[in-house]
Amino acid sequence: MNKRTTNSPAGPGPRQGAANRDKILKAANALFRHKGFHGTSTHEIARRAGVSLGNIYNHFEGKEEIFSTLLADYEKAYFSGRQPLLEVFQTSTFPDNIERIGRASREIIDRFTDYIVLMYVDVAEFRAKHVGNILQRMRERYTRVLKLSFSHDSPPLAPGIDPAGAMMMVTWSFFNYFVAEKLFGVQGHFGMSDDQVIELFADVFRHGLLPHATRLPRGEASRRGGPCPALRSRIEDVRVRAAALSN
């Protein structure tokens, strides 16, 4: 059976039908996250949901429509007005709000763990067929929210730095850290607390890695084929000392 059917007059009413649909989605959500899409059968979904196989096709064309419905529902919730990151962008300015972006990122990973797992399933099994459009529209969304979170009173960005790209880089750096910590379960992989990592990221993004005296204009180091002269001098000094110690 692969076509959606309709309930007969003697079948379940609208309330029961909606309840069954919710049970199907809940069951499929758990199975997809633990067994993957292709590792989950429609029979397993029906059994876990406590409905007949035919009842599934009353609501969905098939297993992939269940999967895409779950992702669509999560996407709607994720981009709602109550999303933590959006609240940060609406109530503070970039780049003053880097620490707040970090804390909001942690909250998002905690709140939307199931959604992120399903996104990984989509990437692994469908090559991002269902979630790729979210990534493709990312630049557009960040450009839009940048108008909410950038003001003339904010510290200016360094010359040549693209504001939307910088905001994306900051946000995704925090996301990657918290995905490893919360979703992958690799806790403490930076050797410090979450708050300390947030402060570290904010400090590096605001001030860079190198002392101001040794910095070159953006791209200059790569054009010269290596680090700036001050760093080359330090590297050579270390080499000389190492050679002396080996002799």
Contact 88, 97 (CB under 8 A): yes
pLDDT tens sequence across 164-182: 999 999 999 999 999 999 9
Instruction: Say if residue 92 is in the same domain as residue 177.
Output: yes
Residue 144 pLDDT: 86
Better pLDDT: 5 or 232 = 232
pLDDT digits (tens, 9 = 90+) for 85-95: 988 988 888 89
Q: Which of 131, 128, 136, 115 is nearest to 179 (CA)?
A: 115
* 223 in the same domain as 111: no
DSSP letter, residue 76: H
pLDDT one-digit tens code per residue, 93-104? 889 999 999 999
pLDDT value at 15 more than 90: no
* Whether residue 139 sits in one domain with residue 243: no
pLDDT single digits (tens) 23-37: 999 999 999 999 999
Q: Which residue range(s) make up the domain with 131?
A: 79-209
The answer to whether position 108 is within a domain reads: yes
Position of tokens 């269940």? 66
In the structure, what pLDDT confidence band is assigned to residue 9 with cuts at 50, 70 and 90?
very low
Classify residue 13: in a domain, yes or no.
yes
Residue 234's pLDDT band (cuts 50, 70, 90) = low
- pLDDT (tens digit, 9 = 90+) per residue, 126-146? 999 999 988 889 999 898 888
- Token representation of residue 101: 């972006």
Work out whether the CA dihedral 85, 90, 95, 97 comes out positive or negative.
negative
Residue type, 155: P
Confirm whether 69 is domain-assigned: no
Asked if residue 70 belongs to a domain, the reply is no
| 234 and 178 co-located in one domain | no
153 lies in the same domain as 222: no
Q: Do 56 and 177 belong together in one domain?
A: no
Domain count, the chain: 3
For the cut 60, the answer to whether the pLDDT of residue 114 exceeds it is yes
Domain presence at residue 106: yes
**244 lies in some domain:** yes
Pair 47, 12 in one domain: yes
162, 157, 115: which is closest to 142 by C-alpha?
A: 162
Residue 14 shares a structural domain with residue 122: no
Region 153-162: mean pLDDT is 79
- Residue range 40-68: mean pLDDT, rounded: 96
201, 244: one domain: no
Q: Is a pLDDT exceeding 70 seen at residue 241?
A: no
Is residue 72 situated within a structural domain?
no
Domain boundary among 64, 94, 116: 64
| Residues 181, 107 share a domain | yes
100 in any annotated domain: yes
Q: Are residues 105 and 203 in the same domain?
A: yes
pLDDT in tens, 174-213: 999 999 999 999 999 999 999 999 999 999 999 998 887 5
CATH number at residue 54: 1.10.10.60
Both 104 and 49 in one domain: the answer is no
- How far apart are alpha carbons 150 and 164 in whole angstroms? 10
